[in-house]
Amino acid sequence: MEKNLHQVREIEQLTPETFLIHLDRQNFEFKPGQYVILRNPETGEGREYSIYSSTREDRLSFLVREIKDGDFSRFLKHLKPGSSLMVEGPRGFFILDEQSLNGHPLLFIATGTGISPFHSFVNSYDKLNYEVLHGVHFADEAYGRSAFAEDRFCLCTSREDKGDYFGRVSYYLKEKPVDKELICYLCGNSDMIEEVTNMLETHGISPENIRTEVFF
């Protein structure tokens, strides 16, 4: 497995709890949708993070939620430009197959920072036929929304009525039946993924067309 030190360019705070970490990409190659392990080069401690940036950029970016009492996310938040991080990878198989790349209708469902692989997909490939459901608590958590076509993006806010839909992504899917032919990509917390997978299967989507990446 490739392991290299990358320099931190910037920590970009998006909300009080969430930030982007931008690293020099160097010659790091990956497929959109993959993740890496970021490690503290001094202690060796590390965690998995999905790549947020596209294959077209010269920087490597990650969208991170700072977890209260979470060791690693707080370590990342306090990194200074010019310091180094170990990047191990890429890893994972949450990538688009030929059919998905060739215009097949896709449904992307994310919660919170689970929007990262989808952000990388749409910025890396031009002609995806997708719709996105992004589930967050508050409207200011619509990370990277401008990367998605306005008419293909729906922000589901569960704690305030300021998004496109007031309620969780699972409520949205209960109200609006989905086409059985969709290929669905789900990324985020395990509760959402389990609930939505069951719901999509009930709507008639075959299990091989439901692809998942669990963050926690």
Q: Which residues bind ligand FAD (CB under 6 A)?
A: 35, 47-50, 62-65, 67, 70-73, 112-113, 116, 213, 215-216
Minimum Å gap between C-beta 110 and ligand FAD is: 10
Distance CA 38, CA 33 (A): 16
User: Pairing mode, if any, of strands 84-91 and 3-13?
Assistant: antiparallel
Minimum Å gap between C-beta 111 and ligand FAD is: 8
Q: What are the distances in angstroms from CA 144 to CA 71, 123, 140, 148, 171?
A: 25, 11, 11, 8, 23
Minimum Å gap between C-beta 82 and ligand FAD is: 22
Closer of 100 and 116 to ligand FAD (Cβ): 116
What are 211's strand-pairing partners? Answer: 185
Minimum Å gap between C-beta 166 and ligand FAD is: 21
Closer of 77 and 152 to ligand FAD (Cβ): 77
Distance CA 37, CA 116 (A): 15
Minimum Å gap between C-beta 127 and ligand FAD is: 25
How far is Cα of residue 120 from the mean position of the Cα atoms in its chain? Answer: 8
The CB-nearest residue to ligand FAD is: 70
User: Could you give the dihedral angle defined by the CA atoms of residues 108, 187, 148 and 38, in that order, rounded to the nearest 10 degrees?
Assistant: -150
Tokens 């985020």 correspond to 188
Tokens 């729906």 correspond to 154
Residue 107 makes CB contacts below 8 A (sequence gap 6+) with 130, 131, 132, 133, 178, 182, 183, 184, 185
Minimum Å gap between C-beta 61 and ligand FAD is: 10
